[in-house]
Amino acid sequence: MQVVLEDVGYAYGDLPVLDGVSFTVGEGETAALIGPSGCGKSTLLNLVGGLLEQQGGRIATMGTVPAGCLNPLTFVFQDFALLPWRSVAGNVALALEHHPLGRAEQEARIASVLQLCGLTDFADALPKQLSGGMRQRVGIARAIAVKPAVMLMDEPLSALDAQTRELLMEDLIAIWARERTTTLYVTHNLSEAVRLADKVVVLSRRPGRIKRIVSVPVPVNERQKPEHIGLLQQLHDELWSLIKAEAQVADREMQHV
């Protein structure tokens, strides 16, 4: 399924945060959304996911919903958003319980995603018993349990330490290789964007406008190979040069808020 954004704008009261944003995330593609703090990245994601009401422009999905999909537009949250009173399996079940699945299929789905995310042995654990990385794995397992058409990931690794982030990036690449889900991935981490995305959408500082869309011309599963590291570093530097000056201005603006 594709996601098409046309001339999307948004304002919180008198404060415009997005202006004339247009781009498309292709079928099975991962698009990273980067930009300075406060440029409207998360707002855009919430608009695409229907958690914010659209004010201007048009956001649409195109294509058929995959078989077995229960929630076409599915979020993975920065703060994991796990119910602390439910076990790992219970948190995944929350996304399934209100759908007319048989008990057997619900349990099969839960078992399958827990295995995919390396959580089988933690099915009965409570979130408080897990590390940050494992909690986010639960968030990802919950998202893929509904077989989404589009994954909307809001800085999913930013609350994690650097080593856990590396591990989870490898997990995400493995999951995407299997699921091929269209993904819109918000991050402030350029390395993450270059490592995971097929294309990087660069937003300007507030109000966020598209500054550039940069393709990453190396298959995701080959980006760790030594022959590509130079090119990827060059891309990283190019992206940084695009947002550095604006990030500095945004940083000073934020301090005055």
Partner 1 sequence: MSDPAKTPVSFRGAGFVPGTRRWAPWLAFALIIACWESASRLGWLPSLFMPAPSEVMNALHALLVDGKLLVHIGASLKRIVSGWILGSIAGVTLGFLMGIFVLARSVGLPVVSALFPIPKIALLPLFILWFGIGEPSKVATIALGVFFPTVVSAFSAVDNVPRNLIRMAQSFGLSTRMIVFKVILPGAMPGILAGFRISTSIALILVVAAEMIGADTGIGAFVLAAGNLMQIDQLIAGVVLLSLLGLTVSALLSVTEKIVLRWR
Q: What distance in Å separates the CA atoms of residue 118 and residue 129, rounded to the nearest whole number? A: 15
Q: Would you tell me which residues interact with partner 1 (CB under 8 A)?
A: 49-51, 70-71, 73-75, 77, 79, 81, 83-86, 94-95, 97-98, 126, 128, 142, 146
Where does the chain show beta strands of DSSP type E? 2-12, 15-25, 30-34, 56-62, 73-76, 150-154, 182-186, 199-203, 210-215
As measured in angstroms, the least distance from the Cβ of 252 to partner 1 is: 29
Among residues 53 and 227, whose Cβ is nearest to partner 1?
53
Among residues 45 and 119, whose Cβ is nearest to partner 1?
45
Among residues 7 and 97, whose Cβ is nearest to partner 1?
97
Q: To 10 degrees, the CA torsion angle through 186, 192, 193, 198?
A: -110
Among residues 84 and 102, whose Cβ is nearest to partner 1?
84
> For residues 32 and 192, is the Cβ–Cβ distance under 8 A?
yes
Among residues 86 and 188, whose Cβ is nearest to partner 1?
86
As measured in angstroms, the least distance from the Cβ of 157 to partner 1 is: 17
As measured in angstroms, the least distance from the Cβ of 148 to partner 1 is: 10
As measured in angstroms, the least distance from the Cβ of 175 to partner 1 is: 18
Angle ∠(216,184,70) on CA atoms, nearest 5: 135
As measured in angstroms, the least distance from the Cβ of 127 to partner 1 is: 9
As measured in angstroms, the least distance from the Cβ of 232 to partner 1 is: 32
Strand partners for 213: 201
As measured in angstroms, the least distance from the Cβ of 51 to partner 1 is: 6
Residue 16, SS3 per DSSP: strand
Q: Which residue has the tokens 């995330």?
A: 25
| Number of C-beta neighbours around residue 111 at 10 A | 14
Using CA atoms, how far residue 193 sits from 56, 57, 196, 226, in Å, is 27, 26, 5, 18
Among residues 74 and 204, whose Cβ is nearest to partner 1?
74
Burial 26-62 (b: 16+ CB within 10 A, else e): bbebbbbbbbbebbbbbbbbbbbbeeeeeeebebebe
Among residues 51 and 254, whose Cβ is nearest to partner 1?
51
